[in-house]
Chain A
């Protein structure tokens, strides 16, 4: 039999010439993907951002050149009271919305994760509706409810003699935005609470801590990073939202509506660029502050245990928990419910409730606004296809390949996140309005903007799907003799197809009601549903707006519901 092979000692150097035996077969995929990512990064992100930055330092209407550089546009933040007010208002509105959204979301997240209340799946699914329905569509409902002659105002006055502050202004905007965006905090924190290792809390319990003490000293600190990241999303959204303050602002301007005013009123792109830059600086400032507070606090509580946290089955907890959650959902969904309700109102003037119901509004919008519906479907569809293709290749490479340029993918996916919608709109308008690449008035500018805005959605949803696929499956296919392309086609894509489709539906459905970017970039030929609704709302034709809004709400809801069935995951999971 063979004699034991003595192992050569470490002193023997590797023989270099062996490396040259056969030309190594290069794997080109990372390079191709790197090039595509770099192109997207440069053309659709860096180029618009730099152009916007430069043009913000150029007086209105002047060309970008060294001699023209000045601080004129930014000086208006010191000289113009309107700018100053818009700046403070924006801070008030976004901080206020972030604060209240977090405040109302946390108890709900705790209840869902720690109390055994009935109809959990229904509650989780309902909680994403505010995210699916564009907030500006529901915003006008608050006027109907809480306006000077609103339904709730009327009863509060009659029964209790209570006066409601004017719905036009900070009160209405913060109310509408908090109730639209609280699910971001709710979903993230609920997920973190549900995933937290139950043994940690049980250990505290065994050591004699009360439930309140555990909550304060163990649970809350553990989910603090999740609370911050949820709050971050709310802040960026609130700061970039143009629809709600347009509907509920009146003469209460915030930065996004000021941008809109500068562009629509004076076509002052340079001024708008400066405001957009200030807007982004606010986001970055907030991001840095949050980093400062939560930067070092990254807890990993996910352990090998698959056991979930024990949920309280006490009757008192269940009743109180249910009451809170359902009350929150009712208030948050009231605008959407009212939109659907008022879409059937054919005559509603000067009375508390409509005097005549019918389908007239639907007939009106379906005859008058068919083109915008087709446009929305076309633009969203094209952008979705792009986002999916990009998401698939980048997510695959990011998860399965080791190469040096991975940070580029992360950056490209994350960068649009810190750009509020209206800022992307201004940047694209400024950049692609003239010059070597003029896209203004084309479908392409909208599709690119949509694509950039939703890139992170498709990337995250596809990389989550790929993450579920055991890499050994792909290795098994390769060892058996398949090429990388063949493996992708025969193994990876069939396995993640539901994830791709669901990601696509998510992107598509949230694009149908997109307003912040669209309002900057649309032209008559490419008017979308969201613009049509917005125009109805700002001209106080609320009934057709409600009908069209209902169509958007129902279609997007059905799509998301279908996606969740497809993935056999709850609707809430799709947004987490």
Chain B
């Protein structure tokens, strides 16, 4: 199964600024497979773009290595790495036609004109750009410009396909359409793709695997489902989707799970334990040694007298179509508890006192 093609080890980037050195990327290691779609996900300023730019050779490497099929790229000039890259601003050459833009890399590789023509035309039509080859980028819509920049990046069969927030400048509907298209063409060509985004939904929907960044560090790598279901840190749990935190103390723990006690003393059975980082504990306002984390859709609301569990008061009920979202004041939680339900209980209304119930396999505990 393992067939690493891109192998990054201990990659570090330190920028010298007038205010002193800034660690943009710290000791990042990851492997990407042959035709994998890999996303670097994180909030702005987390180092994901710097990592991509180091892979592209647009940023020098402070230390660590980037190897492609065993060859170290980290000191190779960008031009010799044979990469295709799509920029956030598309970076289409405004003084060249669509055709010339797409043919740019092929011509640099001295491909015969006939082949350039065939390849570019084939790509343009695969991307739905037939008939636009003579236009200039300024005559195209945002989505069309995006497609041209994809064609330009893929025309010369690059070893890696790098995308830096390619959908950030598109409207919401086009974004969904383009991300499907990017994934389709990436799978058709079987090219390794590294994709940078700050949009977790986008990352989840296109990626084979995701690497979540935070403050220059790679926090967790995994398939979207694993990252969502089994986050290994409070940050990832909080950044990917929504989650509720309940400070607690561990009462019993073994390999199959355990039991924790909340502030109110109520006990909850949990399915899994993860280690809790001391700095995260402070950052998320957890005063106890452990914290229980449950996703909104994994909490069930029951009338106060119908069940056992933490008590809360329904402050607001939002009808969102396919689901109903509740905001609940609960003394056991660090902040307002969010509950989402596809089948809202009929007997719960705003102002009601309710019980919060979850199943052990959905209760995740971080402990220090």
Contact = CB atoms under 8 A, between A and B. Distances in A.
Chain B facing A: main interface SS: mixed
Given A21-B74, A481-B105, A481-B156, A476 B85 contact: yes
B367 interface: no
A374 interface: no
Nearest to A3: B222
A22 B82 contact: no
Nearest to B225: A1
Contacts of A24: 75
Given A2-B222, A7-B217, A478 B79 contact: yes
A475 B87 CA distance: 9
A437 interface: no
Contacts of B93: 473, 476-477, 491, 495
A18 B89 contact: no
Interface stretch (B56-64, B175-183, B196-204, B314-322): B56-64
Interface stretch (B22-30, B40-48, B126-134, B338-346): B22-30
Which interface residue of A4, A19, A23, A477 has the most chain B CB atoms within 10 A?
A4
B12 interface: yes
A215 to B, nearest CB: 36
A69 to B, nearest CB: 42
B76 interface: yes
Contacts of B249: none
Interface in B171-228: 209, 217-223, 226-227
Nearest to B26: A10
A479 B232 contact: no
A2 B226 CA distance: 10
A5 interface: yes
A476 B27 contact: no
B108 A472 contact: no
A477 B104 contact: yes
Contact of A18 (B64, B153, B162, B219): B64
Is the interface on chain B under 10, 10 to 19, 20 to 34, or 35 or more residues? 35 or more
A472 B79 contact: no
A481 B10 contact: no
Contacts of B108: 480-482, 486
Contacts of B152: 476, 480
Given A18-B63, A22-B76, A479 B56 contact: yes
B213 to A, nearest CB: 10
Given A5-B221, A472-B91, A479 B85 contact: yes
Contact of A4 (B56, B75, B217, B222): B222
Contacts of B26: 10
B79 A483 contact: yes
B29 A8 contact: yes
A478 B29 contact: no
Contacts of A16: 63
B285 interface: no
A478 B94 contact: no
Interface in A455-510: 470, 472-473, 475-483, 486, 491, 494-495
A470 B93 CA distance: 10
A25 interface: yes
Contacts of B310: none
Contacts of B74: 18, 21
A165 B104 CA distance: 70
Contacts of A2: 2, 209, 221-223
Given A476-B91, A495-B94, A4 B85 contact: no
Contacts of A14: 10, 12, 27, 62-64
B83 interface: yes
B27 to A, nearest CB: 6
Contacts of A494: 95
Interface in B63-116: 63-65, 72, 74-85, 87-89, 91-95, 104-105, 108-109
6 contacts: A4-B221, A12-B27, A19-B63, A478-B57, A479-B57, A479-B81
Which 4 A-B residue pairings sit nearest by Cβ, starting from the closest? A14-B63, A472-B91, A480-B105, A476-B91
Given A476-B85, A482-B108, 10 more contacts: A1-B209, A4-B227, A5-B221, A7-B220, A8-B10, A16-B63, A25-B77, A478-B58, A478-B77, A480-B84
